[in-house]
Amino acid sequence: MNRRNPEYDFKWCPGCGDFGVRRALEQATEKYLIETEMPVEANVVVAGIGCSGNMVHLLEGPQPYGFHGVHGRTLPVAMGIKMSRPDLNVVIAAGDGDFLGIGFEHVGPQAARNLNVTAVVMDNGVYGLTKGQSSPTTDLGVITSSTPYGKAEVAINPLSIYLTMGVSYLASAMSTKIKDMTSLILNAMMHPGFSVVHVQSPCTEFNDTYELLKGNRKKGIEPVAWSVPDGHDPEDIEAAFRIATSDGIPMGLLYKDASRPTFDRQIAGLTEKAGAKSAAELMESYAI
Amino acid sequence: MIKNDFVVRFAGEGGQGLLTVVTALSQAASQVGYNVQTFATFPSQITGGPTWFQLRISTSDILSAGDDLDALVAFNEEAYREHRGEVGGSGVVVYNTEAFDLESDGKSFGMPFGELAKATGNNRAANFVVMGALAHLVGMPLSMLEEFNRVKYTRGRASDEQIVSSNNHALALGRDEAIKSGFSLGELARPTRPEGEQILVNGNEALSLGALAAGLEVFVGYPISPASSILVWMEKNLVGPGRFVYQGTSEIESINAVLGAGYAGKKAMTATAGPGFSLMSEGIGLAWMAEIPLVVTDVQRGGPSTGLPTKTEQSDLLTVLNPSHGDISIPVIAPGTVEECFYAAVMAFNWAERYQGPVVLLSEHALSERQKNIPKPDLSSLRIENRIVYAGVNGYRRYEASELSPMPIPGAPGGYVANGSEHDGIGDTTHLPARHVQMTERRFGKLKLLEDGSYEEENAQAPVTIMPWGGSKGPAREAYEQLAGSGMNVGWAYTMYLNPLPPALLETLRQKELVLVPELNYLGQLSSVLRAQGVRAQSITQYTGLPFRVRDLVGRIRERVNATQREGVTA
């Protein structure tokens, strides 16, 4: 629902990157529904557990259909919804812990299937709601509440992992750049296949990376974020890999392959000849 | 001597074609009008390992696999030594002389299974050699088996004629060996074809057919013994527009996909066994919390952990009643026969749709593999229920009412959040004490809608009642009939609706001095559930990985009843 619901007592902290992601998601959804002439009730938001998952309750405007399930399982739920009703627009709102930690095992299979949903992953590099534990994208050596002597693992590179697994639309965005993010999310929704918009969405409380991402000339801090060059061909997977594995965090559209059939079309094609069987027909096959 | 009942066991090693011969013989016998029931037990490996199948052929309805063997077909010496003790007084052992030989023990005869098959020109005809010998032993005309052979192997292929004729030749060679041996088991009475149309299915097939008849549209499952055959069946048959069937990457993916499907308006199911069920428990809690209709089939095997993947047990009951953390009580329907597998599946969907939540369909290994002829279910007379769907405008508060309320389906107005956190009317997360009280009572209150389960009760005035559950029904029923027939004052109660129990049944059980529960677990799970509900219940337990033998049950029930009566006298 929205902030006006007095019973709902969850709040994002001031300055949380998720505010910007919400704005972009709202605008992208609105544009998508207008362009496709779909009613708001044809849009379903599947949320993970964590600060970012509260997106489903905090979206302003008309009450959308939402699913706020258990930790890490947005993709299986989204598969159940989308494969039951391919006519619905299914959007996932999850964080780096939910999507790439506990729920990581589900990314590869959905990429291989090319499930036609859009995942908006809010990466703050930390478990915020449980008060500052390390996440898969926390850097090596960083001290968090669960790594008091420094993190012993290197951070994963989500972008190159998505590409390796076969995500068919991949964009990287920054929570403060709402206009760019809106357009990347809208195009992800339009994309026929599994699309991921991975957003740097800093946590002001436990992992404030705003300055690191944007840089600070006065302090001599070079920005970690950089824009994907204009000339990049998003259909060139090798170029996409080069960008994903470069230093820093590239922002923009990295990869897009609209030629692969979506999961629902693939299955429809494979089973077309088999045809639907009724309970009565099947029963008859066991007649004595 | 005319026999009405014939029990034969095929024992050997996995991969020796035991399943082929038992399937063929049960198909052949059911086609000519006999009742048949099979039992299978095997190790958890692709091929090899001690394996046996049992087939009971009868002129009347069959309740159990049968205690005493009329015939044992031993494919190797180990099988002979392991199983000969269960051959009844007048029983006969047929063994493969290619595997071992025996001094005459007065009840065995050998023949070279493979060599005789080879003589027909069809190396794969050994099962027909065996069938020919068995047919002679029970005076079954070979024409019955020849007819089966002709129907089964007329498949429109060039090789049909050659296969049919070599199989017939094999039948005759087997028969000749049996004649030479001089053994006979008497004559199996001619069958009286059961009334009405029949189908020959195993428990998992009956369950799958029931699910489809109930309107199943989405199935996602992960391979696990003994539930894999449901997944395989669904992958083949649950195709077409509006349906979705898929092999998930885990039980966690499966249950969550089924949750999404149930939320999106579909009748959805997954099927698993103990280890997979444990992985699904969080998802089942979510279905209870967010009020999403779905069915989880648990085909029990020996547990805990990996346990006994290919053996039977009834040890998941306590788990399926309360699979998840928190306050929860999951409706459970546990079929006790192959026929009940069909109807239990239908009711599981009706319940799930009616109360908008998860229902566990609790089967077990012994039922899943059991092949049996059952009356063909009449699809036109089935009562199929569908959830109450919200048909109003946007702005609906889906969870606001204190009782069941119409469920909105995405795509139509009525947006809300299906939420696993405690929530308010629209599905937004809340921590208000009054809301948790209201919502907890709303969820438990809906169970009242499921108190329509049917039950069996006989000799209700007896102070002691036998009440089995699930697959122990058959042997317990046979034991009950023997005991009641011998004049013991003992009652019978049975239901497949284990949660909630039919209230009227629970009321009569509470009046009993003793309710005896035969069940295949160590803890005595159903009896503990009954005791918690005010019933004086005790279990008769067994945890061997095998079903009860009727003889054992008769003895153990008699012992308990006598003890109760003695206590009654001293009191």
Please name the residue that has the structure tokens 């319940």. B351
Domain B200-378 and domain B456-570, same fold? Reply is yes
> Rounded to 5, what percent of chain B is helix, strand, coil?
40, 20, 40
Residue A283 has a pLDDT of 97
Asked if B248's CB is within 8 angstroms of A286's CB, the reply is no
Residue in A130, A95, A116 with CA at minimum distance from that of residue A191 = A116
Pairs across A and B, CB distance < 8 A: 200
Residue A2 has a pLDDT of 55
Contacts of residue A77 in chain B, CB cutoff 8 Å? 256-257, 259-260, 263
Q: What is residue A106's DSSP assignment?
A: G
Asked if B249's CB is within 8 angstroms of A84's CB, the reply is no
Residue in A83, A5, A95 with CA at minimum distance from that of residue A44 = A83
What tens digit of pLDDT does each residue of B368-416 get? Answer: 999 999 999 999 999 999 999 999 999 999 999 999 999 999 999 999 9
When pLDDT is cut at 50, 70 and 90, the band that residue A39 belongs to is very high
Say which CATH superfamily domain B2-188 falls into.
Pyruvate-ferredoxin oxidoreductase, PFOR, domain III (3.40.920.10)
> Rounded to 5, what percent of chain A is helix, strand, coil?
35, 20, 45
Q: Which residue of chain A comes nearest to B237, CA vs CA?
A: A277
How far is A93 from A122, CA to CA, in rounded Å? Answer: 8
B 196-215 residues with CB below 8 A of A?
Answer: 197-201, 205, 209, 212-213
Q: Are A210 and A176 in contact (CB under 8 A)?
A: yes
Mean pLDDT of A176-181: 98
Cα atoms in the 13 Å half-sphere on the side-chain side of B302: 17
Partner residue facing A69 (CB), from B249, B259, B413: B259
Asked if B218's CB is within 8 angstroms of A106's CB, the reply is no
Residue in B148, B144, B149 with CA at minimum distance from that of residue B166 = B149
Give domain limits for chain B: 2-188, 200-378, 388-450, 456-570
Which residues on adjacent β-strands are paired with residue B269? B219, B295
Q: What is the mean pLDDT of chain A?
A: 96
List Cα–Cα distances, B18 to A89, B52, B76, B201, B554, in angstroms: 52, 7, 12, 18, 31
Asked if A282's CB is within 8 angstroms of B209's CB, the reply is yes
ipTM over 0.95: yes
How far is B568 from B571, CA to CA, in rounded Å? Answer: 5
Q: Are B490 and B540 in contact (CB under 8 A)?
A: no
Asked if B379's CB is within 8 angstroms of A283's CB, the reply is yes
Calculate how close chain B gets to A183, using CA atoms only, in Å: 24
How far is B418 from B401, CA to CA, in rounded Å? Answer: 15
In the predicted model, is pLDDT for residue A75 greater than 60? Answer: yes
Q: At B351, phi and psi to the nearest 5?
A: -65, -45
List Cα–Cα distances, B125 to A125, B117, B129, B168, B498, in angstroms: 66, 5, 7, 9, 46
Cα atoms in the 13 Å half-sphere on the side-chain side of B456: 15
Helix (H, G, I), strand (E, B) or coil at B499: strand
Partner residue facing A85 (CB), from B240, B410, B419: B410
Beta strand extents in B310-391 (DSSP E only): 332-333, 358-364, 371-375
When pLDDT is cut at 50, 70 and 90, the band that residue A4 belongs to is low
B 408-467 residues with CB below 8 A of A?
Answer: 408, 410-421, 424, 426-432, 435
B390 reaches A (C-beta below 8 A): no
Partner residue facing B411 (CB), from A42, A66, A109: A42
Please name the residue that has the structure tokens 């030989």. B101
Is it true that the peptide bond before B547 is cis, omega within 30 degrees of 0? no
Which of A54, A85, A277, A285 is most worth mutating to test chain B (most B CB atoms within 10 A of its CB)?
Answer: A85
Residue in A62, A57, A264 with CA at minimum distance from that of residue B420 = A57
Partner residue facing B30 (CB), from A41, A106, A288: A288
- Strand pairing category for B35-41 and B50-58: antiparallel
Is it true that the peptide bond before B226 is cis, omega within 30 degrees of 0? yes
Residue B571 has a pLDDT of 46
Calculate how close chain A gets to B562, using CA atoms only, in Å: 45
B232 reaches A (C-beta below 8 A): no
How far is B185 from B92, CA to CA, in rounded Å? Answer: 8
Counting every residue written for chain B, the total comes to 571
Asked if A40's CB is within 8 angstroms of B209's CB, the reply is no
What tens digit of pLDDT does each residue of B20-74 get? Answer: 889 889 999 998 899 999 998 888 787 778 899 999 999 999 999 999 999 999 9
Asked if B424's CB is within 8 angstroms of A67's CB, the reply is no
List Cα–Cα distances, B313 to B55, B333, B564, in angstroms: 20, 16, 28
Task: Indicate the residue type of B144.
Answer: M
What tens digit of pLDDT does each residue of A203-249 get? Answer: 999 999 999 999 999 999 999 999 999 999 999 999 999 999 999 99
List Cα–Cα distances, B478 to B186, B325, B340, B342, in angstroms: 24, 39, 17, 22
Q: Which residue of chain B comes nearest to A66, CA vs CA?
A: B417
How far is B71 from B10, CA to CA, in rounded Å? Answer: 9
Residue B372 has a pLDDT of 96
In the predicted model, is pLDDT for residue B459 greater than 50? Answer: yes
Q: At A35, phi and psi to the nearest 5?
A: -65, -35
Q: Are B139 and B186 in contact (CB under 8 A)?
A: yes
Calculate how close chain B gets to A85, using CA atoms only, in Å: 7
Partner residue facing B420 (CB), from A40, A70, A286: A70
What tens digit of pLDDT does each residue of A236-260 get? Answer: 999 999 999 999 999 999 999 999 9
Q: How many CB atoms lie within 10 A of CB A261?
A: 14
Partner residue facing A69 (CB), from B209, B286, B415: B286
Partner residue facing B431 (CB), from A9, A73, A277: A9
What tens digit of pLDDT does each residue of B101-149 get? Answer: 998 888 999 999 999 999 999 998 999 999 999 999 999 999 989 988 9
CA B351 to chain centroid: 20
B326 reaches A (C-beta below 8 A): no
Contacts of residue A88 in chain B, CB cutoff 8 Å? 264, 410-411
Which of B216, B236, B239, B431 is most worth mutating to test chain A (most A CB atoms within 10 A of its CB)?
Answer: B239
Asked if A56's CB is within 8 angstroms of B218's CB, the reply is no
Q: Which residue of chain B comes nearest to A277, CA vs CA?
A: B237
Q: How many CB atoms lie within 10 A of CB B151?
A: 13
List Cα–Cα distances, A97 to A134, A197, B279, in angstroms: 9, 15, 20
Contacts of residue A42 in chain B, CB cutoff 8 Å? 410-411
Q: Are B547 and B365 in contact (CB under 8 A)?
A: no
Sheet holding B218-221, edge to edge: B244-247, B218-221, B268-272, B294-300, B358-364, B332-333, B497-499
Which of B23, B26, B151, B253 is most worth mutating to test chain A (most A CB atoms within 10 A of its CB)?
Answer: B253
Residue in B109, B10, B3 with CA at minimum distance from that of residue B55 = B10
Contacts of residue B424 in chain A, CB cutoff 8 Å? 5, 7-8
Partner residue facing A288 (CB), from B31, B252, B268: B31
- Would you identify the CATH topology of the domain B200-378? Rossmann fold (3.40.50)
Q: What is the mean pLDDT of chain B?
A: 95
In the predicted model, is pLDDT for residue B358 greater than 90? Answer: yes
How far is B342 from B364, CA to CA, in rounded Å? Answer: 14
Helix (H, G, I), strand (E, B) or coil at A55: helix
Contacts of residue B220 in chain A, CB cutoff 8 Å? 79-80
What CATH code would you report for A17-284?
3.40.50.970
B261 reaches A (C-beta below 8 A): yes
Helix locations, chain A, DSSP H: 17-36, 55-58, 74-84, 96, 107-113, 158-165, 178-190, 210-214, 237-244, 263-271, 279-284
Asked if B205's CB is within 8 angstroms of A67's CB, the reply is no
Least confident of A148-157, A249-258, A273-282, B440-449: A273-282
Contacts of residue A76 in chain B, CB cutoff 8 Å? 248, 252-257, 259-260
When pLDDT is cut at 50, 70 and 90, the band that residue A1 belongs to is very low
When pLDDT is cut at 50, 70 and 90, the band that residue B15 belongs to is confident
Q: What are the residues whose beta carbons fall under 8 Å from the beta carbon of B184, sequence distance 6 or more?
A: B136, B137, B139
Partner residue facing B432 (CB), from A7, A274, A279: A7
Q: Which residue of chain A comes nearest to B257, CA vs CA?
A: A80
Contacts of residue A58 in chain B, CB cutoff 8 Å? none
Which class does domain B456-570 fall in?
A: alpha beta
In chain B, the largest separation of any two C-alpha atoms, in whole Å, equals 85
Calculate how close chain A gets to B428, using CA atoms only, in Å: 6
Conformational region of residue B184, where left means phi above 0, alpha means psi within -120 to 50, and beta covers everything else = beta
